[in-house]
Chain A
Amino acid sequence: MSKLADYDGPILEIDKLSISFFTRLREIPAVMDFSVSVMPGEAVGLVGESGCGKSTVALGVMQDLGKNGRIVGGTIKFKGRDLSEMSAEELRDIRGNEIAMIYQEPMASLNPAMKIGKQLMEVPMIHEGVSKEEAYARALEVVTDVRLPDPERMLNSYPHQLSGGQQQRIVIAMALMSKPALLILDEPTTALDVTVEAAVVELVKDLGKKYGTSMLFISHNLGLVLETCDRLCVMYSGEAVERGSIHDVFDEMQHPYTQALFRSIPLPGADKNSRPLIAIPGNFPLPHERPPGCNFGPRCDYFEEGRCDAQDIPMFTVPGNDRHHTRCLKFQEIDWSAPVTMADTKEKAEIGQTVLKIDNLKKYYEVAANALFGGGHKKVVKANETLSFEAHESETLAIVGESGCGKSTFAKVLMGLETATDGQILLDNRNIEQVPIEERDAKTVGEVQMVFQNPFDTLNPSMTVGRQIIRALEIFGVGNSEAERRQRMLELLDLVKLPRAFADRMPRQLSGGQKQRVGIARAFAGDARIVVADEPVSALDVSVQAAVTDLLMEIQREKKTTLLFISHDLSIVRYLSDRVMVMYLGHVVELGTTDQVFSPPYHPYTEALLSAVPIADTSVEKQHIVLEGDIPSAMNPPPGCPFQTRCRWKSQVPGDLCEREVPPSRRVAEGHQIKCHLSEEILKSMEPVIKIAAE
């Protein structure tokens, strides 16, 4: 099949698009009056919180809205032709050929029972009717293009044999097989680790340039959009609220929601005292419960009664800028440069004495090499290798690292869900590393608590919120009577700033942020002294993250809690922690105060990690360090330094020391240790990764 004739207008032109889903109860207007256009070779970002309709727009373009979705207004034109007027056959010709789409979960988007090669070859075979041999040659070429090692073996593998990053590259390769004019990427890197994400994003950018593909890049991460796109469209509750070039929107935003979004994410350019995170108050309205007038009204600082809620708000053109539009009545009246009105700054509590001491802790797992046919030889997974550190009262210690580095294993051992293989964990000088949770007394259990990543999985769906907290109180042996525990439960709800009426609600009636608050309340039920927060906000939307983070810090101030904050998000880590521990493949590669870790000398891995974090600030200049390959499997770690397979400094170490010997942990400054063979001089010569350009 040939492509549509060349066309020099916009590649994609969405005009006043409205999409609704029809359920038995009601019509859900998921997207309303949405317009955006993508010019040839241009990358347009689509940003917004989950549920605001980004994916719906994407699927609308693909004309794949499922049984109950329908376009109820507006048009989607691709190269000047209305997609909704095409026949099924014409659509099939366009899909995969002219417009390709990549979405969030790479594993789920590949057919598990079909070899990669076959899945790739299918594309040109359908659309261009080429022979098997030619399709294979094309597949080989594209797989080489997405920089996968050993392309021939890749083509001959099944999806599960590849790592997440490799799978996503295959999905990208599949999308590029027929050199489409438009590529739609729906959160393509959300499931990936930061360093892998950085590499994939770089790849998409390069290939976009190489093939001249236009892109619609959907993300909830402003930093990522800054790095990939030329233009940006911010969505809120089914509508586009602001549209313009990256620079206009980032530096001269003209909509209160955009502003609020930026204020709720931590940026490295500013420190936490002069620029605290400001959460957006209230909750995202459900599609069928939108307020009259401006959708953002109930959460907007500039809301004006009788005006903002009196009429439908159209898009206004911002004078003087290039194609910059905003859906705000008052954009010309608001003083956009006014400084943030700060809530009173709170003093951080003094860091107290050592509460927790970890000494040479090791945790090895024995796993059968082949799960089903069991037996045979066993493999040892070294999930934690000689962890040693201390944590103090009122201190926040961040544990940073990518998937499989052993963060969660450590949390499990500390909680008593697993016992240590070797070494000790001292809680107030008592050894607890060999005491499983069933044998811990109620006090110890209550003292060491955890807040989980996914608030959805940890609450019992058939029990009221109040009951669940009371259950926790019973377990920790708090209170002598039901009445006393009920009182305590209400106090805990106050502590996490939930209305007391929530005690009688069921978990499903709560939003993600509210559920996480219940999780926090439960963790503090037994007067926890040590709280392990395992990615507590990463499953939440940006605007809610700030509020939950602040809550954790406030409780910490009040209760003098030791907070072990596990995260892969370095921006938030920098914002809230006192000390940082960087882990890689079970090893602590760097440990120091936040300032020490975030400025040179770095461990080479920390350096790469810092460079990989997308930053939503146009004034920040970042060094680009792209790591090759994937994180090795913990079951099969490389010899010598765990990071040697991806380290860009390795050549600076004489001989093959890095490949032979695990480097010792060296003290480079008071309280700052790095596990690397690099010499003092080279470490000293390192440049900062993140630089703030002078204003």
Chain B
Amino acid sequence: MGLFILRRFGVMLLTALCLTFVVFFLTNLYPNLEKLAKTQGNQRMSDEQVETWLENRGYRQPMLVKYGQWLGVMPGFTNTLDDGQFVGTCARPGVAPEDTPKFCGVLQGEWGYSTVFKDDVGGIVSKRLGNTGYLMFWVLVLMVPSALIVGILAGMREGSVLDRSLSTFSIITTATPEYVSGVIFIAIFTSSTVGLKWFKGTATQAMDNPTFENFFLPVLTIALYGMGYIARMTRASMTEVMTAQYIRTARLKGVSFPTIVMKHALRNALIAPFTVIMLQFPWLLNGVVIVETLFNYKGFGWALVQAAGNNDIQLLLAISVVSVFVVLLTQLISDIGYVYLNPRIRIS
């Protein structure tokens, strides 16, 4: 088990390395750098000026060197400009050149400096991640139990009216992307056109003071989309279990229907959806980007949009690393949970 987890972490690191290199490569393409120079420096810089600007700040070093500096395995770039300004990878405003460390990469715990937020990337990411984590927590609280209940209810009697109505509901929810359902919810529940002013159309206050009123809609929007999918998986798994021989055995033992569902079918039916729930995570992150932007909730997804829009290289990189870890970590949990639920693998 230990070895297994260790190996998984190895894979995670490797994936993170590859992915960040790709992101690094793309964000460091010349057109992007040019844009960066113009936003940071001066919009009306000539081509030569851009070139010097980039040159002076170490952006024209070979790609691998820059990547090494970001990782913290190569000493950071330093330069003193003609006007005496000290610049470099590790330079921070207000820090004297003597105090600037030699290495300042991820390995040193330095995630870099966000050019958009004018702040340390590490701090931004952890703050935004906290916000998103809070959002996701409530999404899960709402989504998982309702999806499982819907799936189990639909699957326990295949083809019944209950099954058909719940299945239709699930299909509609998965077929409606967040940007559609989100807009519809905002239109119906928050605007004066319909008149149901039940909820707030923005979740900005929810960051400091979350209430049902300002927080429920974003949670619901993300949860609904994932829910349909999990519910359908649960239903498929449940219908299969209900036709299994051992369910017939239980029936012919004289076990009553509710007991069959609760004691015999449930656990077996949950093995497959559990994996799915965990694998849903990456997709939920997707929804997070849309919903956070839509409801102006300043979380991880919102930060990603800001970073991408302004070519904030270091912030983008940090976000990719975190995403990779979130995705792979959920897969690890999914594997371990699968083993736990399935005694056939647990005890062999």
**Chain A positions near chain B (C-beta within 8 angstroms):** 62, 64, 67, 92-97, 100-101, 103, 105, 108-114, 122-123, 126-127, 158, 160-161, 171, 174, 370-376
Contacts and interface: CB of A to CB of B under 8 A. Distances in A.
Contacts of A161: 347-348
A547 B339 CA distance: 48
Contacts, number: 91
Nearest to A373: B4
A62 B253 CA distance: 10
Contacts of A108: 244-246
B116 interface: no
B246 A110 contact: yes
Contacts of B254: 92-97, 123, 126-127
B197 interface: no
8 contacts: A96-B253, A108-B245, A112-B344, A114-B263, A123-B254, A126-B253, A370-B348, A373-B3
Interface in B50-65: none
Contacts of A174: 249, 253
Closest 6 CB pairs of A and B: A96-B253, A108-B245, A96-B254, A373-B4, A95-B254, A158-B343
Interface in B80-122: none
Most buried by B among A123, A160, A370, A371: A160
Contacts of A376: 3
Given A109-B246, A126-B255, A372 B268 contact: no
Interface in B1-34: 1, 3-4, 7
Contacts of B343: 112-113, 158, 160
A231 B198 CA distance: 76
Contacts of A67: 159
Given A108-B246, A112-B246, A375-B3, A160 B252 contact: no
Contact of A158 (B159, B255, B264, B344): B344
A502 to B, nearest CB: 34
Contacts of B342: 112-113
B187 interface: no
A158 B345 contact: no
Nearest to A171: B249
A105 B3 contact: no
Interface of B: 1, 3-4, 7, 159, 244-246, 248-256, 263-264, 267-268, 271, 335, 339, 341-345, 347-348
Contact of B252 (A101, A110, A112): A101
Given A112-B268, A113-B267, A371 B348 contact: yes
Nearest to B248: A64
A105 B248 CA distance: 12
Nearest to B265: A111
Please report whether the interface of chain B is mostly helix, strand, loop or mixed according to DSSP: helix
Contacts of A372: 4, 335, 339, 345
B7 A375 contact: yes
Given A109-B245, A158-B343, A376-B3, A92 B256 contact: yes
A123 B253 contact: yes
A371 B345 contact: yes
A192 to B, nearest CB: 16
Contacts of A62: 252
B255 to A, nearest CB: 6
B255 A110 contact: no
A443 B254 CA distance: 61
Contacts of B248: 64, 109
Contact of B347 (A100, A103, A114, A158): A158
A100 B267 CA distance: 25
A101 B250 CA distance: 11
A550 B248 CA distance: 40
Contacts of B264: 111, 114
A25 B245 CA distance: 26
B4 A375 contact: yes
Nearest to A1: B254
Contacts of A123: 253-254
Nearest to A97: B254
Contacts of A96: 252-255
A373 B1 contact: yes
Contacts of A97: 254
